[in-house]
Structure 1
Amino acid sequence: MSNNQDEARILAEDTATLHKMGYAQELSRRMHGFSNFAIAFSIICILAGGITSFQAAFSAAGPGGVFVGWIVGSIFSMVIALSMAQIASAYPTAGALYHWSSILGGRGWGWATAFVNLLGLIFVVASVNVGAYDLFTSLILGNMFHIDTSHWGFWQQTIAVILITASQGAFNHMGIRTTTRLTDFSGYLIFFIAIVLTIAMLVGAQHYDFSRLFTFINYSGKAGGGVVPHSGNLFYLFMLGLLLPLYTITGFDGAAHTSEETVNARRTVPRGIINSVFWSFAFGLVMEASILLAMPDLGKAAAQGGNVFFNLLAGLPVILPVKYLLYVGIVVANYLCALAGVTSTSRMIFAFARDGGLPGHAIWRRVSPTHRTPVGAIWLTAVLSVAATLYSPAFAALAAGCAMFLYISYAMPVAAGLLAEGKTWTEFGPFRLGALSKPLAVISIIGVFVLIYIGIQPPNNILITYGLGLIVLMLVLWFGVARVRFPGPPISREAIASRAAEIAAEERAVHEGTGG
């Protein structure tokens, strides 16, 4: 059998799987293994959070907070990624966490998961685009062109973020082929720039003191540039520093949100989730270690607060072309990170809207017959992510919110699966955890409660307002409207069977629009 015949058979199986869950194949299924991995790897982007949130750990518990914290945080990320991968293998849909929670925990649990996941995803795009703006002004305008932007403020940032986000929306609008090419490039770019950055840091190091990687120093308060409020409890500070790896290694649900655009999704998506976390951990650990080893004086570096990485990079004794390559590469990687975030978020909105989960759902679930992309969801993502920066322009709060809300949404279907496994959940995909399934689920749930505690500590206590506001809003919407009007995804055999004619009509409309 030829490769074309093999792929045609696999595509037919993917479509049949989607039909069995009550959905039409409206989106274009073009992504293969690397592309699915690359979109999750791009959203994680160690050149984004691994750089822009470096001070969250370093200015708390020193070099040990960064290096050991990266290991601890990454282990937790892998635990929850494994649990998610098992569910993704069973239910490969664009709704991902929302759909999983609905099947395993019920309509209301799925609805709640959707809103928490949506908020976390919006924070991803918002925080990375604010970070991209900061990196552009610091590295490109400041270090390359020596333009003083110290007097720039809210309006300059807002205008820049609007332009950045609009361009990302436009690329996503143009089709998954365009997006895939960009995120594939992003995957290679992250590997390349991380390697160059690591080598540059090691070349610039005056000496290699590997013991500092395991040395914990209290840099809270003034000693750390005021990044973290002063505390005498080093363990508490270490825990706060876990926001560095947990903010960075998040967004890997992007592999799941693009399930309906991925070939052989039941096998490819779990690999994409797991591999994106593993390689981010491995390359990120070496990169962060090189940054720590390159510091001439830890105390002086910590006192620079949020500027520690930028000043260190600017002072490296390497030739200018290498520095400029790093400057441009880091900024482009951050831009593509948020672009991939728009892709992931828009697929989640599309999936939730097609089940009637959002006001104006007919608009947000619309698929362009020309590009076969959820255009309404793409532009709603753009608007919401810009709006998030208006209320909370501080990068640290956006980063903490991204980590906290996303990991809560990750744990919700995992918790539902823990209770449903072996009872109502009896059909699994090719990827199984076996005896590890329930222990890993328990660890995931406990870890998320710890993360919630970390995430709402000063200076990120604005997230208490976000969290309480979200809870109140969800309660009002659920009991006031959604409990009666929201049908949820088709789960029962009767509901799925009743959608057969609608599925055929939706697919026919898409094929006619593309001339297929």
Structure 2
Amino acid sequence: MEHMTEDEKVLHNMGYAQELARRMSGFSNFAISFSIICILAGGITAFPVAFSSGGGFSVSIGWLVGGFFALVVAASVGQIASAYPTAGGLYHWASILGGRGWGWLCAWINLVGLIFVVASVNFGVYLLLKDLVITGVFGVDTSAWGALHASIFVTIFAVTQALFNHFGIKITTMLTDFSGYLIFVVAIGLTLSMLIWGASFDLSRLFTFVNNSGEPGGLVVPEPRTALVAFLIGLLYPLYTITGFDASAHTSEETINARSTVPKGMLNSVFWSLLFGFFLASSFVLAMPDTTVAAKDGFNSFFNLFNTLPMPELLRDLLAIGIVIANYICGLAGMTSTSRMIYAFARDGGLPASKALATIHPKHRTPVNAIWLTAALSAGACYYAPFMFALAAGCALFLYISYAMPVAAGLFAEGKTWTEYGPFRLGAWSKPFAIITIIGVVILAYAGIQPPFNPIILPLFPDLVFPLNQLTNPLIFLAVAMGLGWFLSERKRFKGPPIGEEIKRRQAEIAAREKALDAAEAS
């Protein structure tokens, strides 16, 4: 006990053992969130959402609006993370500040959002690999590829990402650290390529709003909408991209000096993504030979632009490969974050088979069962909704709602039931930022349910068509399931994270658990 670190003391005071390996540096904590945000992922695959909604204005100004909102949310969340540096992150904070029912609901919403992150990124990896590398680099005709090919590749991605996670945080950290540098290099290279070999430097494109909803925007938003609604739909682009930064919080128990490092990791990952992503997205708009044709291209707009840009072929190939690698590691980081959330929720009894899902591998010190469940659920989400727009909208919607829940609870608890704070404080900005977060998430929720997605078509049963669209259907199902689950079962069974005397009672159990894990790791 005399060698206990400050991080371990804080964790013990919250009633948890140091089961995960605490090896992440400040840069690694930043890199895992920066890798999940990955402007080369959503910044590319979701680009048509903005451009085919409101043109260059939605891309550039929309990116700034969405990015600054994300920065406010990250600051609000970071303040709470500094006070409660736990792997459960949002779930734990919502429970402590708003009650166990609020925390239980937040956990499920956050879990769905995280699953959508991994699913949407891996589906995006498939699209980028198919169009940029397999076709673009190797010249293979993939025009006949369909849902079966997507399912196979997504499964391969999920399994290999789970294997990397299975064998320890050190391997994952090495890859996400590498990805942090790779994203900077490829983003700068891609931006410069668009500007050097692009067709236009007409800056007015970036500040001219064009309502492309309806026929002008292809299949992205096929029904005409008002200019305001079109702009709001376009905000899904930056907010889908700049999300997942709660990964820094979910790896709190694996991060050194977590109370200071985690908030910095979140804020820095959002800030640099906002800055570099703005120039990257703007370069796409400036490089388009014809913006009207590009809007009509819809989801193919970036691929058509990239593949026809008159840059050297070697450079095009290197950029394409770099984009795909960064996206793959983005999915890997997402799986790390999701598995830690499942582990933390399970150790408090919040999930079926909680004991199994909270199991830590004694040698690798990773939540192996939670990792493989994440792999299965993320792949399954792609089988259910093989449509990028539905996954992207669901990801942004669910995650930002889960971010707002502990922030909203903190708004009312600060200075009352919430009196213990960490070194990162917002001070006078705390409540205004919380109010902005809540209002912004309400607007995002409205935007998220606007796009008329295609009817649900399961790849294995193409003739079975569901009448509700791919986002509305799971929203209704989850709302009903969560309500029934809480009032019929969990309201009486679920105790939430430990508080008060329960924390004191756990100390002997914590010491025994850590001793057993240390002995197993040493052997």
Report how far residue 229 of structure 1 moved. 2.2
What does residue 512 of structure 2 align with? 505
**Pick from 19, 23, 42: which aligns with 2:35?**
42
Judging changes above 3 Å, is the alpha-carbon distance between structure 1 residues 289 and 19 closer, same or farther for their aligned structure 2 residues?
same
| Secondary structure of the corresponding residue to residue 177 of structure 2 | helix
The letter of the residue matching 1:507 is E
Matched residue SS, 2:5:
helix
Matching of residues 42-81 of structure 1 within 5 Å: 42-81=35-74
Kindly report which structure 2 residues correspond to 1:105-184, keeping only aligned pairs within 5 A, or say none: 105-184=98-177
Q: Partner amino acid for 2:374?
A: T
User: Does structure 2 retain, via aligned residues, the 8 Å contact 1:11–1:263?
Assistant: no
Within-5 A mapping of 1:362-373: 362-373=355-366
Aligned residue number for residue 20 of structure 2: 27
**1:228 and 1:174, CA in 2 relative to 1: closer, same or farther beyond 3 A?**
same
- The TM-score with structure 1 as length reference comes to 0.97
Structure 2 match to 1:86: 79
> 1:295 — aligned with what?
288
Aligned counterpart, 1:396: 389
**Contact persistence 1:10–1:263 (CA under 8 A):** no
CA contact (8 A) 2:115 2:338 kept: yes
Shift, 1:170, TM fit: 0.1
Deviating more after overlay: 386-395 vs 18-27: 386-395
Structure 1: segments with no counterpart, 5+ residues: 1-7
| Structure 2 equivalent of residue 514 of structure 1 | 521
Distance between the aligned counterparts of 2:261 and 2:11, measured in 1?
Answer: 15
Spell out the pairing of 1:347-358 with structure 2 (5 A cutoff): 347-358=340-351
Match runs of 1:303-322 below 5 Å: 303-322=296-315
Identity of counterpart residues, as a percentage? 60
Q: Which amino acid aligns with 1:168?
A: Q
Q: CA RMSD in A?
A: 1.3
Deviations 1:251-308 (A, max 9, x none): 0000000000000000000000100000000000011111111111111111111111
Match of 1:489 in 2: 497
Residue number among 464, 477, 502 corresponding to 1:469 in the alignment: 477
8 Å CA contact 2:21, 2:169 repeated in 1: yes
Structure 2 letter corresponding to 1:473: A
Gapped regions of structure 2 (runs ≥ 5): 454-468
Q: Give how far 1:232 is off.
A: 5.0
CA separation of 1:102 and 1:210: change in aligned 2, threshold 3 A:
same
The answer to whether structure 1 residue 451 and structure 2 residue 449 are counterparts is no
Distance 1:365 1:434 in 2: 36
Partner of 2:457: none
Give yes or no for the alignment of 1:436 onto 2:441. Answer: no
Check conservation: 2:132, 2:320, Cα contact below 8 A.
yes
Matched residue, 2:265: 272
Residue 157 of structure 2 aligns with an amino acid whose one-letter code is: I
**Equivalent in the alignment of 2:246:** 253
- Structure 1 distance, partners of 2:299, 2:78, is 35
Which residue of structure 2 lines up, in the alignment, with residue 16 of structure 1? 9
2:463 match: none
Higher mean displacement: 168-177 or 294-303: 294-303
2:180 to 178, 187, 193: 187
Q: Which runs of 4+ in 1 moved over 4 A?
A: 8-11
- Matched letter for residue 319 of structure 1: P
What aligned pairs does 1:192-231 form with structure 2 within 5 A after superposition? 192-231=185-224
SS at match of 1:287: helix
| Residue 458 (structure 1) shift | 2.3
